[in-house]
Amino acid sequence: MMRVLVTGGLGFIGSRVSGALLDDGARVRVVDDLSSAYSSGTGPAAARELAARGAEVTIGPARPALVRGVDAVIHLAGLPGVRTRRAPSALHEANVRLTERLVRATSAHGNRFVLVSSSSVYGDARVLPTPEHLPMAPLNHYAKSKVAAEAVVREHGSDAVIVRPFTVYGPGQRPEMAFARWIDLLHARQPLPWYAWAGTARDFTYVDDAVAGILAAVRRGRAGEAYNLSGWRSVELRAALELLEGAIGCRAVLDTSAVPGAEARVTQGCWRKAADELGYGPRTDLASGLREQLAAASPDRLAA
């Protein structure tokens, strides 16, 4: 019976990872400081549900002492968001120094460490689809903190693997993330702030696909390697919005006065390495995944 520590284990991705591990018969230790914003089913609600299923749930900071007695650590804790207004020093403390403390402690016990990084490390990649070996070119402070976190994992991890999810969405998505905000604003018939340049596109990854990739990295990832976890195709943001408009049954009013941030214009992850080495492959397309997210957020308000 595998024993796994999940840091940030009550958040959007972390709560699904923790639940999937329990489904597989693992013994799960969850730690989360509940400092983020949470959608229905995550945060405190996830704490209650996971504890009822037998997980050991700790509310508080992720501490190196928590790695004792586990076989693997899945590290999701940190400050999220490419548009965060957090100071670089706060991002460094939460995303880099914490990672270093945990990977050092995990390595001292000879156990597996999986860092959940971000596709933002690639910036405006010069190669699409983007392979894992491409030099990283972060465009904002959040992405730079993820690059630095990867560096400390490579330096101090004895059995460490890195995964880079691409734009994860689905039920439980944090309220400030794009699809969650769009759904709320479309239902309220309010203007939707539009931060994207024309032609901006993303490789969207359904949350359960990302979770499957993370668990595959725990079991089959090669130490010292990084793996893309993506939806295997890039979709323009305007086309993604049109899917939501059709499902909800209304047209968005775009507020184009917003200034685009320091973000990539197009993302698309190369699939070969994760497919070949992890057996990873996305199962949910964007249209189906958005309907799942809509159904979870507003089950009585879908278009007929």
195, two tokens: 């931060």
Q: Which residues contact 135 (CB under 8 A, 6 or more apart)?
A: none
Q: DSSP of 241-274, one letter per residue?
A: HHHHHHHHT----EETTSPP-S--SB--B--HHH
Could you give the CA distance from residue 286 to residue 292 in angstroms, rounded to a whole number?
10
Could you give the CA distance from residue 153 to residue 278 in angstroms, rounded to a whole number?
20
The rounded radius of gyration (Å) of the Cα atoms in the chain is 18
Could you give the CA distance from residue 268 to residue 202 in angstroms, rounded to a whole number?
7
End-to-end CA distance of the chain: 46
* 142: annotated active-site residue: yes
Q: Which residues contact 239 (CB under 8 A, 6 or more apart)?
A: none
Identify the residue whose tokens are 């976890």: 229
Beta-carbon neighbour count of residue 214 at 10 Å? Answer: 28
Q: Which residue among the candidates 122, 142, 227, 280 is catalytic per the annotation?
A: 142
Could you give the CA distance from residue 53 to residue 215 in angstroms, rounded to a whole number?
19
Q: Alpha helix (H) ranges present in the chain?
A: 12-23, 44-52, 88-92, 98-108, 141-156, 178-188, 207-220, 237-248, 272-278, 286-297
Q: Which residues are catalytic?
A: 142
